[in-house]
Amino acid sequence: MRQFQGQTLSWDLHDGIIELTLHREPLNEISSSTLEELEKFVTSLDALSQDSHALILHCSLKSGFCAGADLRQLYGWIQEYGQSEVANHARQYLERIHAVMNALDAAPLTTIAAVHGVTFGGGFELALTCDLIIADKLARFCFPELRLGLIPSFGGIPRLKRDLGNAVVRDLLLTGRSFNTTKAQQIGLVSQVVGEGEVLRAARATAKQIGKFDPTTAVLAKRFIKPIPLDELRKEIDVFCELLPRPAVQAGLKKFVESTDAQPYLP
Amino acid sequence: MPTAEKTLDEILTLAAAHFKVPREKLSPDDDFFKTLGIDSLQALDLLTKLENHFRVELPDYELQGVTDFRTLAGKIQIRL
């Protein structure tokens, strides 16, 4: 399928470049419907990669790249399944998310995340599957999960550790603070910083340049330099599922999803 | 290091330009969420703009509960 138009995302293959566009209002919260369409995409990826050398992952919404997991859905699961069963349900969901993220991480082409604005939680984790991150000057990155009594669960901790080292992970994870593109480039997370509204143009130019190289060499180079940290990814799911049923998490999520303040609840 | 007054003035000017509000409509003790008509995501844009302008890093948890320009300026001033 060279083109797809879904409820949460779409893709298009043109001149050897796949553009995967997120467009779920309000800010691409990753829900079950997003996951289903991402699964559809990775199922199509082998066929798409026969005619492509690069994948650009971006978002067409003005407010940002992706706010992360759909916390309303997560809170709804706690209500629906109760504290005894919610971890089992979450584990099944996370197994599927991790399969998608691992497929994107190992995709047989060069992948570029073109991000702007809010790139938080699961959105940050999605960007971390890509080989390169190109960011708008106003992008911000964050793992806010500890503020709600959880850890990132879409593979973010092992991938960030793989790419940047343990100290950066500890800073982001244990403080829950966000940081800007300037900092992200200083620490080596972001490869290019561009002006507001220019991120897709820069990603396309980079993808075009990559197309000049031998694709077999590019794929082998990527496999050599970018191993998937499978053991740590498994442990991440275990820790998340251990934390999720606690009453403190339920209370934090309740405050967050029910907040109507200009500044949503976050401790 | 700029004075606290200069820092505050630059914040007001920058916020007015970014959110396309006349500068003269902004006062130091205004609730910037209300005066600028912004939400928390737009406030993050403002934070990033300010960090880039003043070349500082301002952890967002320090801004929890901060809603007026003067207090915001104070948070930035101690990092200059």
pLDDT at residue A260, as a whole number:
75
Does A13 score more than 80 pLDDT?
Answer: yes
Output the CA–CA distances (angstroms, integers) from residue B73 to B15, B43, B61, in the order listed: 12, 14, 15
- In chain B the first and final C-alpha atoms are separated, in Å, by 6
Q: DSSP letters along B30-66, please?
A: SBHHHHHT--HHHHHHHHHHHHHHHT----GGGGTT-
The band of A4, judged by pLDDT with boundaries at 50, 70 and 90, is very high
The band of A89, judged by pLDDT with boundaries at 50, 70 and 90, is very high
pLDDT at residue A262, as a whole number:
65
Asked if B57 lies within 8 A of A140 by C-beta distance, the reply is no
Chain A, 192-231: which have a CB under 8 Å from a chain B CB? Answer: none
A119 burial type by CB count under 10 A (0-12 exposed, 13-18 middle, 19+ buried): buried
pLDDT at residue A263, as a whole number:
66
pLDDT at residue A75, as a whole number:
93
The band of B4, judged by pLDDT with boundaries at 50, 70 and 90, is confident
Structural domain tally of chain B?
1
Neighbours of A246 (CB within 10 A): 13
Does A267 score more than 70 pLDDT?
Answer: no
Q: Rounded to 5 degrees, what are φ and ψ at A55?
A: -125, 130
What would the pLDDT profile of A55-82 be if each residue is shown by its tens digit? Answer: 999 999 998 999 999 999 999 999 999 8
Give the residue numbers spanning the domain of B35.
4-77
Shortest distance, CA B35 to any CA of chain A (angstroms) = 12
Q: Rounded to 5 degrees, what are φ and ψ at A5?
A: -125, 105
Distance CA A200, CA A209 (A): 14
pLDDT at residue B35, as a whole number:
93
User: What is the ipTM score, two decimals?
Assistant: 0.87
Mutation to test the B interface, candidates A59, A259, A260, A263, most B Cβ within 10 Å? A263
**Domain ranges (residues) in chain A:** 3-199+214-258
Does A243 score more than 70 pLDDT?
Answer: yes
What would the pLDDT profile of B35-49 be if each residue is shown by its tens digit? Answer: 999 988 889 999 999
Percent of chain A exceeding pLDDT 70 equals 98
Which residue does chain A place closest to B45, by CA atoms?
Answer: A138
Distance CA A214, CA A110 (A): 12
Output the CA–CA distances (angstroms, integers) from residue A88 to A19, A74, A118, A242, B42, in the order listed: 34, 13, 30, 10, 37
Adjacency order of strands within the sheet including A3-5: A3-5, A9-14, A17-22, A54-59, A110-115, A132-136, A192-194
* Neighbouring-strand partners of residue A192: A134
Decide which of 3.90.226.10, 2.50.20.10, 3.40.1160.10, 3.40.1190.20 is the CATH code for A3-199+214-258. 3.90.226.10
Question: How many residues make up chain B in this entry?
Answer: 80
- For tokens 């309740």, the residue is A254
| Range with top average pLDDT, A112-116, B19-23, B25-29 | A112-116
Asked if A177 lies within 8 A of B60 by C-beta distance, the reply is yes
**Within 13 Å, how many C-alpha atoms sit on residue A5's CB side?**
0
Could you tell me how far CA A221 lies from the centroid of its own chain? 23
Which CATH number belongs to the domain containing residue B20 in this structure?
Answer: 1.10.1200.10
Distance CA B32, CA B25 (A): 11
What SS3 class is residue B29?
coil
What would the pLDDT profile of A190-214 be if each residue is shown by its tens digit? Answer: 999 999 999 999 999 999 999 999 9
Asked if A262 lies within 8 A of B51 by C-beta distance, the reply is no
What would the pLDDT profile of A162-182 be if each residue is shown by its tens digit? Answer: 999 999 999 999 999 999 999
- For tokens 């897709």, the residue is A200
